[in-house]
Amino acid sequence: MEQTRQILKSKIDDLKPIYLLFGEETYLIDEFVKNMINRFVDPEIRDFMLSYVKEEDEENFQNKLYEICNTVSMFSPNRIVVAYCSEGLTKDCDDANLLKLVDNFPIGTVLILISKSKPSKKLKSVKAIEKIGEIIEFVPLRDYNLNNWIKEQFARYGKKIAGQGISYLEENFLNNLQQLRSEIEKIITYVGDVEMVTLEDVQAIISKDAILKDTIIFDLVDAVGNRRTKDALMILEEMERDGEPLFLILKMFIRQMRLIMFSKEMHDRGFPPEDTAKRLKQHPFPIKKCYSQSRNFTMEQLELALERMLQANYDIVTGRYPEKLALQLALIDLKESI
């Protein structure tokens, strides 16, 4: 994000008093906070320059925040306070003490306030923060921004990655930044002194278990859609053997059917996969797969399949059948019903 890059290039005296952070992409929020601390906190006087406060740990969060922000450091003219607002700054929030803090914000203190939910601009405190600070939303990375983020991770180690390698990473791990970061670190270790990372390098090292977990549900749905009940039952056995909880497999299948139903509806209305992905806040790759899978079903068949799987869920919850039997019966029934 260009906005956060510019902040990190600043001098500490040029920082805004308050940075209010929120959004779905918590990995990027955590990374920005970590970079702020590394950039602006002197490690030798860290205990005097840096403070944390969490709403869940305090009886009166806003009073504690006011107290910490107004504490004067004896060893540094500047302080950074990182505060986690777990309840969020919603329109029903009592923000009187926060507004009191913002209206008389102490010089030399920088507050990084992380809100669990989107702050309501109806709150006086949020309006006041907007005047003296910055409000930054962290959204999941997609397309061009995700490509750049992956390139930047490799560039940190003085390396470049081929476009095919980027595509392969995105296809297998979507925009899960935590997982991508983990796999990238494995790749860096694997290639050693090599500067250009190729598709073959990526394929040689990334976690096959992670790929299997994220893609095998597509295989299960494909088998059902093509009336290959024997294959569907074998995939179920394989997933169980690999340690996947049976009840979670059912939940994943139900979610996939709902995604396919929505994708089919959007396709019939003339929307491309990219538009549907944006609406669902998903990476385009799995939605394109849903578009493809939707061709195997009519909408009526999808509704029947979803209904049968919800019945399996009910049978498990009520104890009518054990998990495995409930799933096996549902998969067998689907061949006849769709």
Query: Whole-angstrom Cα distance, residue 261 to residue 51?
Result: 48
Quick: pLDDT tens for 202-231: 888 775 555 555 567 888 888 888 888 999
- What are the pLDDT tens digits along the chain (338 aa)? 788 989 999 998 899 999 999 998 999 999 999 999 999 999 999 988 999 999 988 888 999 999 999 988 778 889 999 999 987 787 778 888 899 999 999 999 999 999 988 998 889 999 999 999 999 999 889 888 999 999 999 999 999 999 999 998 988 788 889 889 988 988 998 888 889 999 998 888 775 555 555 567 888 888 888 888 999 999 899 888 878 788 888 988 998 899 999 999 999 999 998 888 888 877 677 788 889 889 888 999 999 999 999 999 999 989 999 999 999 999 999 887 76
Query: Against a cut of 0.85, is the pTM above it?
Result: no
How is domain 2-137 classified at the CATH fold level? Rossmann fold (3.40.50)
How is domain 143-206 classified at the CATH fold level? Helicase, Ruva Protein; domain 3 (1.10.8)
In the chain, where are the structural domains located? Answer: 2-137, 143-206, 211-337
Helix (H, G, I), strand (E, B) or coil at 110: strand
C-beta of residue 22 within 8 angstroms of C-beta of residue 137: yes
Long-range CB contacts (< 8 A, 24+ apart) of 155-162? 157/188, 158/195, 159/188, 159/191, 159/194, 159/195, 159/196, 159/197, 160/195, 160/196, 160/197, 161/196, 161/197, 161/202, 162/196, 162/197, 162/198, 162/199
The number of beta carbons lying within 10 Å of the beta carbon of residue 228 is 14
Query: Whole-angstrom Cα distance, residue 150 to residue 156?
Result: 10
| 198: nearest Cα among 147, 172, 190 | 190
The number of beta carbons lying within 10 Å of the beta carbon of residue 16 is 14
C-beta of residue 59 within 8 angstroms of C-beta of residue 175: no
DSSP assignments along 57-104, one per residue: G-SSHHHHHHHHHTPPPSS-S-EEEEEEESS---TT---HHHHHHHHT
Report pLDDT for 213: 57
Q: Domain 211-337's class?
A: mainly alpha
Query: Whole-angstrom Cα distance, residue 142 to residue 135?
Result: 21
Quick: pLDDT tens for 223-264: 888 888 999 999 899 888 878 788 888 988 998 899 999 999
